[in-house]
Amino acid sequence: MQKTVSFVLVWFALVLLLAATVTASFMLKGPAGLAVSLGIAFGKSGLIYWHYMHLNEEEGLQRIAALGAGAWLLILFAFVCADYLTR
């Protein structure tokens, strides 16, 4: 029962963050809207990683591997942004 309640609470938080994303897209325009939307997306992905991928139940090595994968994605996105900005 506790696990079901936990899943429902995380799902409800994701729905609230979705509503925040939609609201931000209508209220904020330009770079501010993009920054807020990316921040909300980062929060949603963190909730999904932590709860639905069961990282809260895993030991240290799996958490480090997931953190390394996220860091690698950030590095690749930084390279893409740097390439785009220098053209």
Q: With pLDDT > 70 as the criterion, what percentage of the chain qualifies?
A: 99
Judgement on whether residues 52 and 64 belong to the same structural domain of the protein: no
pLDDT of residue 78: 92
**Which pLDDT does position 1 carry in this prediction?**
67
Write out pLDDT tens, residues 38-77.
899 989 988 888 888 887 777 888 888 888 888 998 899 8
What type of residue is 74?
L
Residues 40 and 76 in one domain: no
Task: Share the mean pLDDT of the chain.
Answer: 87
Same domain, yes or no: 16 and 52: yes
**Do 4 and 44 fall into the same domain?**
yes
What pTM was estimated for this model as a whole? 0.70
C-alpha distance from residue 50 to each of 35, 38, 54, 61, 67 (Å): 22, 18, 6, 14, 11
- Residue 56 burial class via C-beta count within 10 angstroms: exposed 0-12, middle 13-18, buried 19 and up: exposed
